């Protein structure tokens, strides 16, 4: 079986598609068979548990130009600027976020930031006519 | 890629600290008036002082443009009885508002007299306060001539007053004291005005302590120290007058960030720093024993309206799962702003639910509202208010349509809050006089920092007032010298967590403080439990604080906030020990003194440090005297709408 070239593998990160380098580890869209192969050749880092929830927002890399306005308005420094200019900020302190929304409200490039409520904070509503239940 | 973990996986290493590191370096700033905290009260204080022609420095932990509880927005300008549509006399209304036990008659009088003036100034600066485009034509409360949008809030006699039966009868005429505003741009407008007036703004600086004359506790306040939470630089501010405009402490009993995000009423930055720095300098505090059950999300509950737990908090009829209307007041025009159901109504609903007469869950019936009222509620009220702005936005984008969909309410189904999860946000704060001066010379307070604070417009009006008074004081006094010994000892205290690279970090310390408070200073209070609480906190101070470590300037700030929380917690216990009676309005239950609000204990308890020893005292209820008389005696020169009337 042909090895997967990970430099061309895209993985889905919320609403945005991210081109990964050699070390891209998420290969969910490729299915189990390919996943095994990916796993076999993966160099794996030892990482602590991911703080959760850890994505109060999703950045659209095609729209975000890394202006860091969100970094500046954030009340608690959830973000730091990306070391590489022009890239979306890094979410460094996600668990301190109090979901005030200023980063998304004030973003000068509409669509660059999508607010991403943690699953347990997503409200429900019901269509009054049909009774159909929806969750945010 | 957006998270730290993504970055590490991609790059193979952690990102470097993105800001210059300046641990140990010092910057010294000289100001006539130093404003500590750049939220609503702080910005208004800075603007008002700068308009008096003095040199102003404003210090803010975050970025002034969006910082503070009012940073994201404001939808209601509450308690503006001097507005042209008001049907009440501002002075009479103020007396009525201050009838609530343990309220702050001084702040309320200032708000009632001056917050319409304040709102007009906000309009001049660029804040939107009128429906000039006719977007809400036909809405109840909209005045065609002024284009002001009145809110039904406080439409009845204020329903917070216990035992006040008058609120049960709708008044013949509406009070018209609350105005809807488009406040989502208020904060940027305030920052811009500060800059225009030459206020020197220091963003991302946490003030850590006040400096007093000769470094002596109880003497005149002559400055403050701070630390930049991005660079770690040490800041020394010299001032003739200082105004603390920071907030109370948000999370003394709770630490839940890892679970669901830190969805507290206020952000983690709200850690009581201002109260504690005033305390350490020797200023008197009051109402510190007052607490209540945590009203808000804190990650454990649904977050809506800063987690008030109810989807349909205001103006919206609440129905059960099959559409049957529940007898909750809707705080709308139909019940003229009646805010909380009477206990017997609440109990009746509960019993009916248990009998199956109401089906769970409940919903906010937005589709039942008229189009214009629905828009005024959804787009204007919720769309302009603080943290609800982003909620409305994500619901809209997620496909929710208020004209079609019922919004789920979390009443009952999420249960009641745990009684040991309490909050100190029930009014403890710095004692002030009619100049909003604290008990220390050179130190003023405004907004949420004062005892018994109120809302956004209260913060604005009192901030504006404190700025004026502090500027007047600053013009009278000579410069005073900082005590270099005091600066050096504060610098050592601030940097101590940086000297260690292991030990206990800030989250664990916070959680430890919270747990001690849950066990010993919670719903059940006795002398023994409170003494054990004091002991537990002392042990944390002696054993854990010396092990507190911080790896970067951000964690240093959080660590220093822990020290504020710890001191704040200790003050709460000391005040709780000193009040030997239970009280309903203070949310205070002493099992060993079970009688509620006995006459001899209807008084304010004050608490302060004198030579580092805790000293308590008392002030009578309504110690502020005749509100109208006192206000006028202290503000002969002030020319506002009320005076011109």
pTM here is 0.92
pLDDT for the residue B292: 77
* Run of H or E residues at B205: strand B205-212
Q: What is the pLDDT of residue B610?
A: 97
> Three-class SS of residue B235?
strand
Which fold, A57-121? Alpha-Beta Plaits (3.30.70)
Instruction: Using DSSP, state whether B443 is helix, strand or coil.
Output: strand
Q: What is the DSSP string of B317-339?
A: -EE-TTSPBP----SSTTTTT--
Nearest-neighbour CA in chain A from B264: distance (Å): 7
Nearest-angstrom CA–CA distance, A31 and A33: 6
Comparing CB atoms, the residue among B72, B365, B399 nearest residue A134 is B399
CB B224 within 8 A of CB B547: no
Name the pLDDT band for B468 (thresholds 50, 70, 90).
very high
Helix (H) or strand (E) segment spanning residue B429: strand B429-430
pLDDT of residue B167: 47
Inter-chain touch B9–A88, beta carbons under 8 Å? no
Residue A73 confidence (pLDDT) above 80: yes
The fold adopted by the segment(s) B484-620 is Methane Monooxygenase Hydroxylase; Chain G, domain 1 (1.20.58)
Average pLDDT value for residue range B538-550: 98
Mean pLDDT check: name the lowest of A26-40, B114-128, B196-210, B480-494. A26-40
Residue B260: band (very low, low, confident or very high) from pLDDT cuts 50, 70, 90: low
In sequence order, the β-bridge partners of residue B603 are B620
The more confident residue out of B334 and A113 is A113
Nearest in space to B94 (alpha carbons), one of B619, B630, B605: B630
Do residue B5 and residue A18 have CB atoms under 8 angstroms apart?
no
Placement of tokens 């006459």 in the chain: B599
CB pairs under 8 A, 24+ apart, for A79-85?
Answer: A79/A103, A80/B15, A80/B18, A81/B18, A82/B15, A83/B15, A83/B16, A83/B18
Q: What average pLDDT score do residues B98-107 get?
A: 94
Q: Is B200 in CB contact (< 8 Å) with chain A?
A: no
**Residue A123: which of B1, B8, B311 has the nearest Cβ?**
B311
Q: What is the pLDDT of residue A79?
A: 97
d(CA B525, CA B537): 16
d(CA B154, CA B152): 6
For residue B342, name the pLDDT band (cuts at 50, 70, 90). Answer: confident
Summarised one tens digit per residue, pLDDT across range B587-642 is 999 999 999 999 999 999 999 999 999 999 999 999 999 999 999 999 999 998 88
Please report the pLDDT score of residue B15 as a whole number. Answer: 96
Predicted pLDDT at B303:
61
Whether A53 sits inside 8 A of B260 (CB atoms) is: yes
Residues in a beta bridge with B234: B26, B227
**Which residue(s) pair with B249 in the sheet?**
B271
Across the interface, which of A20, A53, A136 has its CB nearest the CB of B394?
A136
Give the pLDDT confidence score for residue B298 in this predicted structure.
54
Q: What pLDDT is stored for residue B346 in this prediction?
A: 85
B362 pLDDT higher than 50: yes
Rounded Cα distance between B242 and B219, Å, is: 13
Handedness of CA B121, B123, B127, B131 (dihedral sign): positive
Mean pLDDT of A61-76: 96
Q: Is the model's pLDDT at B439 over the cut of 70?
A: yes
Can you say whether the dihedral through the CA atoms of B210, B213, B215, B218 is positive or negative? negative
pLDDT of res. A123: 86
Q: A18 to chain B nearest CA, in Å?
A: 7
The model's pLDDT over A10-58, given as tens digits with 9 standing for 90+, comes to 333 333 333 333 333 343 444 444 555 555 556 788 888 887 788 999 9
Cα–Cα–Cα angle for B140, B141, B147, nearest 5°?
Answer: 115
Task: Give the integer Cα–Cα distance in Å for B481 and B30.
Answer: 11
Q: How far is B201 from chain A (nearest CA, A)?
A: 14
Under a CB-based contact definition with an 8 Å cutoff, are residues A61 and A84 in contact?
no
| Sequence spans of domains, chain B | 26-72+185-292+421-476, 76-95+108-184, 318-408, 484-620
Pairing of strands B179-180, B149-150: antiparallel
- Contact call for B261 and A128, based on CB within 8 A: no
Q: For residues B26 and B234, give the distance between their C-alpha atoms in angstroms, rounded to a whole number.
A: 5
B356 has a pLDDT exceeding 90: yes
Region(s) of chain A under CATH 3.30.70.20: 57-121
Residue B310 pLDDT more than 50? Answer: no
Give the separation between CA B558 and CA B507, rounded to whole angstroms: 8
| A123, A127, A134, best to mutate vs chain B, most B CBs in 10 Å | A123
Which residues have CB under 8 Å from B384's CB, separation 6+? B73, B74, B75, B181, B182, B183, B184
User: What are the Cα distances from residue B546, in Å, to B500, B505, B582?
Assistant: 9, 11, 36
Give me the residue from A58, A59, A128 closest to B367, CB to CB: A128
**Best of A43, A54, A77 to disrupt the B interface by mutation (most B CBs within 10 Å)?**
A77
pLDDT surpassing 70 at residue B391: yes
HSE-CB for A125 with a 13 A CA cutoff: 24
Q: Across the A/B interface, how many CB contacts are shorter than 8 Å?
A: 179
What is residue B415's predicted lDDT score, i.e. its pLDDT?
Answer: 74
pLDDT of residue B330: 78
Contact B18 A94 (CB under 8 A): no
CB contact under 8 A, B4 and A91: yes
**How do residues B232-259 score in pLDDT, each as one tens digit?**
999 999 999 999 999 887 788 887 766 5
Q: How confident is the model at residue B304 (pLDDT cuts 50, 70, 90)?
A: low
Section B288-293 average pLDDT = 86
Query: A1 CA to chain B: closest CA distance, Å?
Result: 26
CA distance A23 to chain B (A): 6
Would you say A126 and B43 are in contact if contact means Cβ atoms under 8 Å apart? no
Q: Which residues contact B242 (CB under 8 A, 6 or more apart)?
A: B33, B34, B35, B36, B210, B221, B223, B224, B442, B443, B444, B470
B211-240 average pLDDT score:
98
Which B positions 551-590 lie with beta carbon below 8 A of chain A?
A: 554
Nearest CA in chain B to A102: B72
Per the CB < 8 A criterion, the answer to whether B594 and B611 are in contact is no
Q: Given CA atoms B42, B48, B54, B55 in this order, what sign does their dihedral have?
A: positive
**Residue A4: how many CB atoms within 10 A of its CB?**
16
For B26-72+185-292+421-476, the fitting CATH number among 1.10.340.30, 2.160.20.70, 3.30.565.10, 3.50.50.60 is: 3.50.50.60
Least confident window among A108-117, B381-390, B481-490? B381-390
**pLDDT of B57 above 70:** yes
Q: In what order do the strands lie in the sheet with B613-620?
A: B429-430, B285-286, B603-610, B613-620
Nearest to B406 among A53, A126, A136 (CB): A126
* CA torsion through residues B156, B159, B161, B162, sign: positive
The tens digit of pLDDT for each residue in B14-38 reads 999 999 999 999 999 999 999 999 9
* pLDDT of B132 higher than 90: yes
Cα A22–chain centre separation: 19
B168 shares contact with chain A (CB less than 8 Å): no
């Amino acid at each position: 079986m042909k090895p997967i070239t990970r430099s061309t593998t895209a993985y889905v990160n919320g609403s945005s598609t991210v081109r990964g380098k050699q070390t891209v580890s998420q290969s969910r869209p490729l299915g189990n068979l390919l996943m095994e192969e990916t796993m076999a050749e993966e160099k794996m880092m030892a990482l602590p548990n991911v703080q959760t929830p850890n994505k109060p927002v999703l950045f659209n890399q095609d729209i975000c130009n890394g202006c860091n306005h969100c970094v500046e308005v954030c009340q608690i420094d959830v973000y730091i600027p990306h070391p590489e200019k022009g890239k979306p900020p890094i979410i460094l302190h996600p668990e301190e976020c109090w979901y005030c929304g200023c980063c998304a409200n004030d973003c000068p490039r509409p669509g660059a930031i999508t607010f991403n409520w943690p699953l347990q904070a997503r409200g429900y509503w019901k269509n009054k006519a049909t009774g159909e239940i929806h969750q945010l | 890629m957006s998270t730290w973990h993504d970055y590490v996986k991609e790059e193979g290493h952690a990102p470097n600290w993105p800001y210059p590191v300046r641990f140990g370096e010092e910057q010294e700033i000289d100001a006539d008036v130093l404003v500590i905290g750049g939220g609503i009260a702080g910005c208004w204080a800075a603007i008002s002082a700068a308009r008096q022609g003095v040199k102003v420095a404003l210090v803010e932990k975050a970025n002034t443009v969006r910082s503070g509880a009012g940073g994201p927005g404001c939808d209601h300008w509450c308690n503006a009885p001097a507005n042209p549509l008001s049907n009440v006399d501002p002075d009479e209304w103020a007396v009525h508002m201050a009838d609530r036990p343990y309220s702050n008659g001084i702040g309320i009088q200032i708000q009632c007299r001056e917050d319409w003036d304040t709102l007009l100034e906000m309009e001049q600066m660029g804040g939107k306060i009128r429906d000039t485009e006719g977007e809400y034509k036909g809405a109840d409360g909209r005045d065609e001539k002024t284009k002001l949008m009145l809110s039904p809030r406080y439409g009845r006699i204020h329903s917070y007053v216990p035992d006040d039966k008058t609120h049960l009868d709708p008044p013949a005429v509406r009070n018209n004291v609350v105005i809807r505003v488009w406040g989502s741009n208020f904060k940027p407008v305030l920052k811009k005005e500060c800059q225009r007036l030459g206020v020197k703004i220091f963003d991302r600086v946490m003030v850590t302590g006040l400096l007093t004359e000769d470094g002596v506790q109880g003497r005149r306040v002559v400055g403050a120290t701070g630390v930049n939470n991005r660079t770690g630089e040490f800041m020394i501010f010299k001032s003739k007058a200082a105004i603390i405009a920071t907030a109370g402490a948000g999370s003394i009993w709770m630490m839940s960030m890892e679970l669901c995000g830190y969805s507290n009423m206020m952000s983690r930055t709200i850690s009581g720093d201002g109260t504690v720095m005033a305390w350490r300098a020797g200023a008197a505090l009051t109402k510190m024993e007052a607490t209540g059950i945590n009203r808000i999300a804190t990650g454990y509950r649904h977050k809506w309206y800063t987690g008030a737990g109810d989807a349909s908090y205001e103006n919206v009829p609440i129905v059960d799962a099959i559409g049957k209307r529940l007898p909750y007041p809707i705080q709308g025009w139909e019940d003229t702003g009646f805010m909380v159901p009477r206990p017997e109504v609440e109990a009746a609903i509960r019993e009916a639910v248990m009998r199956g007469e109401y089906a769970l869950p409940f919903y906010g019936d937005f589709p039942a509202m008229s189009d214009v009222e629905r828009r005024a509620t959804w787009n204007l009220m919720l769309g302009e208010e603080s943290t609800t702005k982003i909620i409305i936005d994500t619901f809209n984008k997620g496909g929710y349509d208020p004209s079609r969909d019922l919004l789920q309410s979390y009443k009952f189904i999420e249960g009641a809050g745990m009684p040991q999860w309490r909050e100190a946000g029930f009014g403890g704060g710095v004692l002030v006089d009619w100049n909003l001066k604290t008990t220390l010379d050179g130190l003023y307070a405004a907004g949420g920092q004062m005892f018994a604070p109120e809302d956004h417009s209260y913060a604005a009006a009192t901030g504006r007032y404190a700025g004026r008074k502090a500027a007047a004081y600053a013009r009278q006094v000579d410069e005073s010298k900082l005590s270099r010994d005091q600066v050096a000892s504060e610098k050592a205290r601030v940097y101590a967590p940086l000297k260690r690279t292991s030990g206990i970090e800030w989250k664990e310390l916070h959680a430890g403080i919270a747990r001690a408070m849950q066990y010993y200073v919670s719903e059940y209070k006795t002398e023994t439990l409170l003494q054990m609480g004091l002991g537990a906190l002392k042990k944390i101070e002696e054993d854990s604080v010396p092990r507190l470590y911080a790896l970067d300037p951000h964690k240093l700030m959080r660590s220093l906030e822990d020290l504020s929380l710890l001191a704040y917690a200790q003050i709460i216990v000391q005040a709780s020990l000193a009040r030997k009676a239970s009280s309903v309005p203070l949310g205070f239950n002493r099992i060993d003194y079970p009688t509620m609000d006995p006459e001899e204990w209807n008084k304010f308890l004050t608490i302060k440090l004198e030579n580092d020893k805790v000293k308590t005292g008392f002030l009578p209820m309504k110690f502020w005297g005749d509100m109208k008389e006192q206000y006028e005696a202290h503000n002969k020169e002030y020319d506002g709408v009320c005076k011109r009337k």
